[in-house]
């Protein structure tokens, strides 16, 4: 469940980011044509550049009119006014960014004074950098230009130079993700996530089922083994118990350790059961008189006509060996 929750949270985050990206699906630049009469040369100077950027909520259509500077310049005061003739044609307001009020407040203050468009130039220290403004709740054309170009216009207006401006729609550049791209990516991600979660659920369910079946088989095998062991005939053999050939094929549990019998017991047992033994004994009188050993070798030979169940054994009793030069010389002779 934890893995599923994490995947669902990731899907939700992607959808939220996608909805935000869909709103900022593109931006439009603005060509600004500025014309004025130079007081130094007494001739008209005009300049046309792609130096503006429309705001997000701004309508994009051309606007033409004279330019007037806001007073105060940031247009954050309630009594913001413009030094312009009464009843003039559509005009454009020039406002500076900053001083603690939002773009929406500045644009609405300009609109209340009757402007057709608001040109906001960037704050100090930004050179000609522009951003795309967000100004919900506005209805007039709004765009931003760089600080350097805006201050040039301010100086001309403060010197009493009349400026005429024409705003034209420039290139509309879309972001790499459009509305359809965002929708397609969201749906694809949701499908892949769902398939992955289903696969993991199926995998773990199958694994748990295999473990359960294996445990059941082990329990059944243990029960069968206990039942088979309980059906076995068990006989405890003590030392000296008599057994026959048929009982040797039965399963027995010995309570004492079985050891091989000694040579004397082996000879005595097989003599009573008609086992033929061939023994050779060599006794040397000289060796006996000198206190040395006699060597006794006993060898068991199993007859062909006698059948014996079990292991056949050969027992040889070896006496300690002592060096006897007299015995060795007599043996060599």
Checking if the pLDDT of 183 tops 50, the result is yes
Amino acid 144: pLDDT: 95
DSSP letter string, 211-230: HHHHHHHHHHHHHHHHHHHH
DSSP 50: E
Decide: 107 and 27 in contact? Cβ < 8 Å.
no
The residue assigned the tokens 């000694």 is 262
DSSP 279: E
Mean pLDDT is lowest, of 50-59, 104-113, 183-192, 310-319, for 310-319
**Upper half-sphere CA count for residue 177 (Cβ side, 13 Å):** 14
The residue assigned the tokens 């312009």 is 84
Instruction: List alpha helices for the chain, DSSP H.
Output: 2-23, 103-112, 147-158, 179-231, 263-272, 285-289, 325-332
Amino acid 230: pLDDT: 82
> What is the number of other CB atoms lying within 10 angstroms of the CB of residue 27?
18
Q: Where are the domains of the chain?
A: 26-174, 262-332
Amino acid 312: pLDDT: 43
Give the C-alpha separation, 132 to 277, whole Å: 120
Tell me the three state secondary structure of residue 173: strand
% of the chain exceeding 70 in pLDDT: 61
Give the range with max mean pLDDT: 41-50, 172-181, 317-326: 41-50
Amino acid 167: pLDDT: 95
Amino acid 92: pLDDT: 95
Query: Which phi and psi (to 5°) does residue 291 adopt?
Result: 85, 10
Instruction: Give the tens place of pLDDT for each residue, 201-243.
Output: 999 999 999 999 999 999 999 988 888 888 877 777 677 666 5
Checking if the pLDDT of 305 tops 70, the result is no
Instruction: Give the tens place of pLDDT for each residue, 241-269.
Output: 665 544 544 444 444 444 444 444 444 44
Global pTM exceeds 0.75: no
**CATH entry, 26-174, from 3.50.30.30, 3.10.105.10, 3.50.50.60, 3.90.78.10:** 3.50.30.30
């Amino acid at each position: 469940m934890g893995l599923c929750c994490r995947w669902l949270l990731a899907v939700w985050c992607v959808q939220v980011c996608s909805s935000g990206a869909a709103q900022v699906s593109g931006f439009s630049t603005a060509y600004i044509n500025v014309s004025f009469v130079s007081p130094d040369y007494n001739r008209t100077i005009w300049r046309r550049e792609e130096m503006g950027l429309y705001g997000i909520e701004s309508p994009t259509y051309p606007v033409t009119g004279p330019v007037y500077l806001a007073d105060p310049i940031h247009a954050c005061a309630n009594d913001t006014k413009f030094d312009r003739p009464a009843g003039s044609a559509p005009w454009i307001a020039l406002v500076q960014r900053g001083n603690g009020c939002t773009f929406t407040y500045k644009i609405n203050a300009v609109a209340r004074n009757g402007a057709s468009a608001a040109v906001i130039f960037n704050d100090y220290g930004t050179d000609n950098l522009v951003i795309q403004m967000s100004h919900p709740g506005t209805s007039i054309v709004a765009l931003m230009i760089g600080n350097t170009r805006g201050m040039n216009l301010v100086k001309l207006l403060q010197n009493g130079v009349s400026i005429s401006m024409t705003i034209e729609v420039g290139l509309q550049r879309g972001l790499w993700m459009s509305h359809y791209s965002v929708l397609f990516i969201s749906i694809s991600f949701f499908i892949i996530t769902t398939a992955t979660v289903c696969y993991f659920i199926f995998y773990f369910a199958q694994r748990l089922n295999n473990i359960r079946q294996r445990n059941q088989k082990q329990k059944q095998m243990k029960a069968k083994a206990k039942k088979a062991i309980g059906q076995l005939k068990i006989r405890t053999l003590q030392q000296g118990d008599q057994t026959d050939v048929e009982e040797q094929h039965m399963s027995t549990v010995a309570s004492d350790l079985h050891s091989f019998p000694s040579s004397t017991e082996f000879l005595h047992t097989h003599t009573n059961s008609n086992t033929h033994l061939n023994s050779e004994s060599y006794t040397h009188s000289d060796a006996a008189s000198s206190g040395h050993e006699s060597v006794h070798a006993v060898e068991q030979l199993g007859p062909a006509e006698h059948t014996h169940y079990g292991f056949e054994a050969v027992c040889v009793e070896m006496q300690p060996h002592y060096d006897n030069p007299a015995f060795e010389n007599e043996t060599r002779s």
